[in-house]
Structure 1
């Protein structure tokens, strides 16, 4: 009985560990993992096993900036079962990242974007054993096309963060309730009076939609829509960027 009481407060309880098979991922990519559950000192009844894809997004609350954890996706893998004491269980898992998953493996002086998978065992009358795995999300090739075009145009990435809200452009709208902003600044002298350019990309099957926010020294902010197919070259996209920024 004493061991059962200890297990109910997380001492000697079952442990869970999600082991991803890929070191890096991209938005919209499928991925695989092995979920390892190690039984504790006593048998434990669980009512579920869940994986939750999370990010942290900036929002405004009562005129000040706050950060909130946001669920991007959620997977349920198991229902009522018993985790036997001392026994190890390995469960295969396969999932797909949402297209609007923020990218985290990117440069910039201030990269504030974070994405992780939270794995939890739902244990009755106990502190849920959980596991947090930080993900390295790289830009897709068609997203890198825009980043390379910005660099070719003389801009450098300064900051990346995630904000709560929706984006709407010419013929497209975001769906996840969050969006990522990549902030670029001129690498040298201000180009066309541009102080900074913020890009918010929404990748999809076959291409990318983007909101381009341009902050000019004398005319304030303006917004443009930019969409391209996955086979668009850096040079082609660069020409379109020059039309927007010039």
Structure 2
């Protein structure tokens, strides 16, 4: 009976060559399986990338763990008692993968992990979970550097389930990186949210400003979009581009 609860069954440990990656990179490592007290049949060994996603349902909001990419390592394995197996893998990271490290600092609110799933016949999946650290692409970093140079202050980051119209989004959620605006715009803009939607060739930058209401002006959300190739992003003056957009949003003069 204890076998049905995984007692004495195989255990799994995934070892990453390097947990630091960028969107579109390949995550490498090996899945190490140690046999238990009795023979076991493993139907599938699967890796899954997962993150926390905020879901809106009617008037309610909740957070859930969401798998957004799966990779099959092996199928139909027989593991003998106390036998050790090592399964190397190369897992492509989606180019739309959210970020959780910027400038060497973890983004508050962002969790990303690699889960190893073992489908053991007649037993509970032992599983394994390893954190991964996703750094920005050079094109994304150029935009983030401009936010820093302008004096924006990072507040938090999260993922929201849903789709942004007009961009080639493939994941069922998008990341929002939130900032307080610099002093020259703080009187008219509460905060600015930055979203990247990335393809192998292009970077789409979506900005959302939460504009304060005034005596003669309406508040609400204002959006800006910029689509460039990754090469063009490196040559773009993002400080000037974002400053011009913020000036238009806030109604400030140059």
- The answer to whether the superposition gives a TM-score over 0.5 is yes
Conserved in 2, the CA contact under 8 Å of 1:16 and 1:129?
yes
The answer for the alignment partner of 2:20 in structure 1 is 24
The offset of 1:69, in angstroms, is 2.0
The 1-side partners of 2:4 and 2:41 are apart by 11
What does residue 245 of structure 1 align with?
Answer: 246
Q: Which residue of 2 aligns with 1:120?
A: 117
Match 1:77 to one of 73, 89, 93: 73
1:227: how far off? 2.0
Please give the alpha-carbon distance, in whole angstroms, between the structure 2 residues aligned to 1:239 and 1:48.
52
Residue 180 of structure 2 corresponds to residue 185 of structure 1: yes
Contact kept in structure 1, 2:44 and 2:76, CA below 8 Å: yes
Q: Does 1:11 align with 2:7?
A: yes
Which deviates more, 230-239 or 137-146?
230-239
1:205 aligned onto 2:200: yes
Query: Is residue 88 from structure 1 mapped to residue 89 from structure 2 by the alignment?
Result: no
**Could you give the per-residue CA deviations for residues 143-197 of structure 1, whole angstroms, max 9, x where no partner exists?**
111111112222111110111011124xx23110110000011243534722211
Structure 2 match to 1:35 = 31
Helix, strand or coil: the match of 1:212?
strand
Aligned residue in 2 for 1:130: 127
Whole-Å separation in 2 of the counterparts to 1:149 and 1:14:
50
Unaligned stretches of 5+ residues in structure 2: 214-218, 248-254
Q: Is the 8 A contact 2:22 2:136 kept in 1?
A: yes
Match 1:142 to one of 139, 142, 158: 139
CA–CA distance in 1 between the matches of 2:225 and 2:181?
20
**C-alpha deviation, 1:41, in angstroms:** 0.7
Q: What TM-score do the two structures reach when normalised by structure 1?
A: 0.90
Partner of 2:158: 161
Quick check: 1:56–1:113 contact (8 Å CA) kept in 2? yes
SS in 2 for 1:190: helix
Q: Return the alpha-carbon distance in structure 2 between the equivalents of residues 187 and 109 of structure 1.
A: 22
Q: Does 1:229 align with 2:229?
A: yes
Cα deviation for residue 6 of structure 1 reads 2.7
What is aligned with 2:216?
none
Unaligned runs of 5+ in 1: none
**Structure 1 runs, 4 residues or longer, greater than 6 Å off:** 107-110
SS at the partner of 2:124?
coil
What corresponds to 1:195 in structure 2?
190
